[in-house]
């Protein structure tokens, strides 16, 4: 129960019970946190809220468009009204709109940057106001190894995830004096519904590149998030923790 009494907000609940957002919310609850789940689709947030309540913790499902400032401000205000404070923010919301550069539509570039990067900025800004008053808090941004390496066909996604790393380091410097820590977790290939659709040949090729020889799970990512939110990481800020089975070593 490393997070007993903490109030957490997790964005991007997702439909898949094997998804990263679902795994993070459940792991935080298992460690004692009450969790607000923010999703663009309320039904998805409600599913994750049910899983949190099964852990014996309080849960709040809220519908938020993270790319819109008014929606974010209203959602964060709802969390504070319900729970009284916010101790943890996990910026997990993200989308993909893959295409090679010459075929990528401007609206697909904008959509990915708006959700994946601007969304984290808006949520962090809204939550930071409350955390600064408390003089405590923890923000974890879910980036990706694609933000470290780039990837053909994902210029928008990789740019947004690289931007998240810059945002993480900048906010860590800005907020450290208020006892607010900001870190990032960079997942590699994670076993979710999305990777289920990969052709077997592609899957085998990926596995050959991973030293640990397997895809990660949502629980692998959630474990890293829990650690960064706990007192065990009280002297860690501005860092990027890769959870990729050794695929990317810097």
Tokens of 150: 């780039």
Rounded to two decimals, the pTM is 0.96
Task: For residue 88, give both structure tokens.
Answer: 């943890």
pLDDT one-digit tens code per residue, 133-181: 999 999 999 999 999 999 999 999 999 999 999 999 999 999 999 999 9
Sketch the domain layout of the chain as residue ranges: 7-242
3-state secondary structure of 209: helix
Instruction: Report, in angstroms and rounded to the nearest whole number, the Rg of the chain calculated over CA atoms.
Output: 17
Fold that domain 7-242 belongs to in CATH: Rossmann fold (3.40.50)
What angle do helix axes 20-30 and 42-54 make, rounded to 10 degrees?
30
Q: Where are the beta strands (DSSP E) in 47-108?
A: 59-63, 88-91
Asked if the model's pLDDT at residue 15 lies above 80, the reply is no
pLDDT in tens, 200-247: 998 899 999 999 999 999 999 999 999 999 999 999 999 999 999 999
- Picking from 148, 40, 159, 189, the residue whose alpha carbon sits closest to that of residue 98 is 159
Q: Which residues are catalytically annotated?
A: 157
Q: Are 78 and 124 in contact (CB under 8 A)?
A: no
């Amino acid at each position: 129960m490393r997070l007993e009494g903490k109030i957490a907000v997790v964005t991007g609940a997702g439909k898949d019970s094997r998804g990263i957002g679902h795994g993070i919310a459940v792991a935080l609850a298992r460690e004692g946190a009450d969790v607000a789940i923010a999703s663009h689709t309320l039904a998805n947030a409600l599913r994750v809220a049910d899983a949190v309540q099964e852990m014996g913790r309080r849960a709040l499902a809220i519908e938020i468009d993270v790319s819109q400032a008014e929606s974010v401000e209203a959602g964060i205000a709802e969390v504070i009204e319900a729970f009284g404070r916010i101790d943890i923010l996990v910026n997990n919301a993200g989308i993909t709109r893959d295409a090679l550069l010459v075929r990528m539509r401007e609206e697909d570039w904008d959509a990915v940057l708006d959700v994946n990067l601007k969304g984290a900025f808006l949520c962090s800004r809204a939550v930071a106001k409350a955390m600064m008053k408390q003089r405590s808090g923890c923000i974890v941004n879910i980036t990706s190894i694609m933000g470290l390496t780039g990837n053909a066909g994902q210029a928008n996604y990789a740019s947004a995830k690289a931007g998240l790393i810059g945002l993480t380091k900048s906010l860590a410097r800005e907020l450290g004096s208020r006892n607010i820590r900001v870190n990032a977790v960079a997942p590699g290939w994670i076993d979710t519904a999305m990777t289920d659709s990969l052709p077997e040949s592609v899957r085998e090729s990926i596995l050959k590149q991973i030293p640990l020889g397997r895809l990660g799970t949502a629980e692998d990512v959630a474990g890293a998030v829990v650690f960064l939110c706990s007192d065990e990481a009280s002297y860690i800020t501005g860092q990027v923790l890769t959870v990729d089975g050794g695929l990317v070593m810097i």
